[in-house]
Structure 1
């Protein structure tokens, strides 16, 4: 899970802190907070625009549970923190420093908010102070696990040598400077290498430089990339016949109600944004810059701005004529539905949220007639009464990336809530447990979602499929999925699935041949070396949140890059490390 304090990152009851009598007395004065209906409505609008990606009033999520926060701090402290949290931390404010230590990231400034805006926002927070989760089920689940995975990730004794290649153009003035995300090779003669920035640019990487191939805002004026947290230009994929048909696919975000959604829910549940899947046809597939047209395939509403449609991909191992050839896989997150009280949206097999979909983009037998339903999908044809025909598998919180091993295993990473990060082997029709499970643990989506419990004795009755790799939040906070090294230049890496943690930037690996359903493969950690010196990505980026990503380039070269500073590194060697550095 992203432990990123954004919007209103406040230290609240969820951390077990009891308010002092002095603070409670100061903040409990009714006159300090407006009760005017128009002011509260304005505060609610501001909260939905700026805060819901990280906060709610039921449980701790990406940010703290805000129920009761106005009983713990003064209105003055609350408003000053909203306006400029980094300044409060730099001033060594005790509460602000505790927040920073817990969530590993500065909350952005909100200096653009007027006095009346902040007054309305804190008034809304105060009005919601009584919201508490239903904890009745917690007692039935037994004792919460304080350390779900006691075994620590071990140092492998291997040193990964990195060479800095280039720095992506900054798309913002503050961290993250460049939201560089997915790298993909377009096979051909010659092969081409692409890299996208979530703020709306698709680059072609030529040598050590990035050249703009496509500008999303130019093609889709309704495109938005704020407030971040994976919103924007989510993913892209080239059709395996791209060189003859010129087709490629993208996902992006637009404001709520921009157009009617193909996948929606009850009007009583808010819509924070829409994710759109588009098919593009280039006039000339060999062109150096995009020129062509696009058609919308599907549009999906989201409860919050997190956990969207961040991955689309084709199976690179599928050959022409095989059943999987030309079928598009789509990772759809739960949109923050569970932690906001709408768990049924991702639990239901008849809904898209929390699922991996598989469609035929060139077909027409979908409900909207814009794409096809593969006949081999688990709920297609005669099985359509059991679930949505687009669904390939489900039970995910945030199926962030999909990749394949050389021996044909489909790998789906899933970013967790508060305890477990996981990698799964994709199986048609499988249920990976969310929101009833997080990794190999029980989670209570009706109560405190910052706790997990041991599996029940009758767990086999539920028929959940569990991850092949997992780690808990002693080791990191959000899995950054990777790839199996298939190059020939560095034999020591052959067969290793190399991945890491988005937040702290640690780099891990597992033996891809050991990945077997029903077992958890042990993780080992690399030491990282840049410029002949051992280092860490937190040191290299000078940031607690590195936003580490992995990619495969031309000739199967392996890349690591960080959104925090936009720097791109290539793996050039792997050697024995006799003196590994300490963990960060």
Structure 2
């Protein structure tokens, strides 16, 4: 239940200050013990990434909520928050103004909402208003529109893997190296090949891995994939997927006092015939990592597309792994590890090696901490909350996008062994991982002592709330520019990453000759934006809402 009931305490004060008679709310909510236990499990599965009962986080502190707001309003808001926003409901508009993006509706929960209400009702204390909220207008300069509009045309559509949006959960579309075979994932199913603009199921991961789960959360399921640069000869490719916590013994974990909610699993697949349209072959598990929530796990798998055989990183697998939600659960040391752990890191392994922790992968000698006592040899760089895209420019410079907590989104220029700040920095601001995540502070005079490498680009949440990286445009009006966007709204940006202080501007699209917003294009207020590229360098924009892929006319 991502961003469930984003209702701040200040909003409660505004709404109820005009009432002359004190009202009692929640009298109809069940206090049955079994109902409460069921609600607790549902809350932990669907809501806990964004909400707690101590303070505002991605969503608000929910303590005392059911005793301050009508039960019927809460229930209907869970089912369809957009309806409340469209109706100009004062509470809903307060939420949107404070948290920047609407939550999705959850009509599928049905009667289970009653159990969640029962659990919420066990928290009686009304939260105190947060002091020191400094997360507004941190970056006064606003992003300007370039006036550039590119025509898009419908290229392909994945089969619906659910009956309600998002109809298909793609995160990546890229070619098999050295070929024009175009592969795309659906997080709920596996990997498709696009043949003559039609999807053909290449690998059904769910069938091969029945323990796989693709909910709750936007990023669960088959999160990413990568084909080995010599796939045509060796048949090797890799997937990352999620399974419930405790499914098997993990290779990397954390303290017993923090619950393992999910596990991310890295699998190597070997095709008997690399030219076959449907996978047939063998597989082996390479790596299993515990995650404390459904968020910020193994979001990216990739090989350096510029690397040639004989280069030092040829055939080495790059993995983006976030903090697993541990910082927000007040276990900051798990991500603030000073290079000793693999959470909140970009790691690089040799999938064909054997000197890794479990003997199923190798640690490349070129890694900055390889062989260094007390350090994780897998690490390339660390200090990221959610490094969801790793990419290179034509000169071989490595970059990564990083989704922030409540205030700042980042694009980082990656240097080996560097620390990029999380969880003690968000963008170029200080954050206290044991205090309020809504409070950011200026850097101190002694900031250099922290050893932080700061982002090349930082964007405030009034511009974008969840950054997703795209690709460098090969020709046309945006030639040489890197395009990226905001996942929920679909807002489109570009920048010249070769500059020391890149200017970010927006661009837009036209469809059938007419300018159109991304929300209108995909017929949904949540775009769930992703990007793709084919073997010829054509760039695509994709939306999970309807499972459609659009080609940019450059």
TM-score, normalised to structure 1, is 0.88
After superposition, the C-alpha distances for 1:22-64 in whole angstroms (9 at most, x for unaligned) are 69944467x6666665544333212112212332223333332
After superposition, the C-alpha distances for 1:115-162 in whole angstroms (9 at most, x for unaligned) are xx5454223223335496997xx76xxx82531111111122322222
Supply the distance in 2 between the matched residues of 1:230 and 1:91 (Cα, whole angstroms).
30
Distance of aligned partners of 1:14 and 1:315 in 2 relative to their CA distance in 1, 3 Å threshold = farther
* Among 49, 53, 59, the residue aligned to 2:55: 59
Aligned to 1:212: 201
* Among 503, 507, 512, the residue aligned to 1:526: 507
TM-score, normalised to structure 2, is 0.92
Displacement of 1:256 after TM fit? 1.3
Aligned to 1:280: 269
The answer (yes or no) to whether the contact 1:413–1:481 under 8 Å persists in 2 is yes
After superposition, the C-alpha distances for 1:175-198 in whole angstroms (9 at most, x for unaligned) are 11221210111133x421111111
Supply the distance in 1 between the matched residues of 2:45 and 2:513 (Cα, whole angstroms).
45
1:123 and 2:118 equivalent? Answer: yes
Supply the distance in 2 between the matched residues of 1:413 and 1:559 (Cα, whole angstroms).
18
Displacement of 1:389 after TM fit? 1.7
1:294 and 2:283 equivalent? Answer: yes
After superposition, the C-alpha distances for 1:221-241 in whole angstroms (9 at most, x for unaligned) are 111111131001000011112
What number of residue pairs does the alignment pair up? 551
Q: Which runs of 5+ in 1 are unaligned?
A: 574-584
1:42 and 2:14 equivalent? Answer: no
The answer (yes or no) to whether the contact 2:6–2:103 under 8 Å persists in 1 is no
Give secondary structure in 2 for the equivalent of 1:421: strand
Aligned to 1:581: none
Alignment of 1:463-542 (within 5 A): 463-486=451-474, 490-514=475-499, 516=500, 520-542=501-523
Supply the distance in 2 between the matched residues of 1:303 and 1:547 (Cα, whole angstroms).
24
Supply the distance in 2 between the matched residues of 1:36 and 1:283 (Cα, whole angstroms).
56
The answer (yes or no) to whether the contact 1:13–1:67 under 8 Å persists in 2 is no
Displacement of 1:493 after TM fit? 2.8
Distance of aligned partners of 1:213 and 1:24 in 2 relative to their CA distance in 1, 3 Å threshold = farther
Aligned to 2:226: 237
State the Cα RMSD in Å.
Answer: 2.6
* Among 149, 156, 164, the residue aligned to 1:166: 156
Distance of aligned partners of 1:15 and 1:328 in 2 relative to their CA distance in 1, 3 Å threshold = farther
Displacement of 1:96 after TM fit? 3.8
1:367 and 2:357 equivalent? Answer: yes
Displacement of 1:556 after TM fit? 0.6
Give secondary structure in 1 for the equivalent of 2:121: helix
Supply the distance in 2 between the matched residues of 1:61 and 1:24 (Cα, whole angstroms).
31
Supply the distance in 2 between the matched residues of 1:119 and 1:208 (Cα, whole angstroms).
44
Distance of aligned partners of 1:98 and 1:203 in 2 relative to their CA distance in 1, 3 Å threshold = same
After superposition, the C-alpha distances for 1:74-110 in whole angstroms (9 at most, x for unaligned) are 3443344445555655666443454456553353234
Distance of aligned partners of 1:378 and 1:207 in 2 relative to their CA distance in 1, 3 Å threshold = same
* Among 43, 68, 71, the residue aligned to 1:72: 68
Supply the distance in 1 between the matched residues of 2:363 and 2:148 (Cα, whole angstroms).
45
Give secondary structure in 2 for the equivalent of 1:187: coil
Aligned to 2:166: 176
Aligned to 2:536: 555
Aligned to 2:393: 405
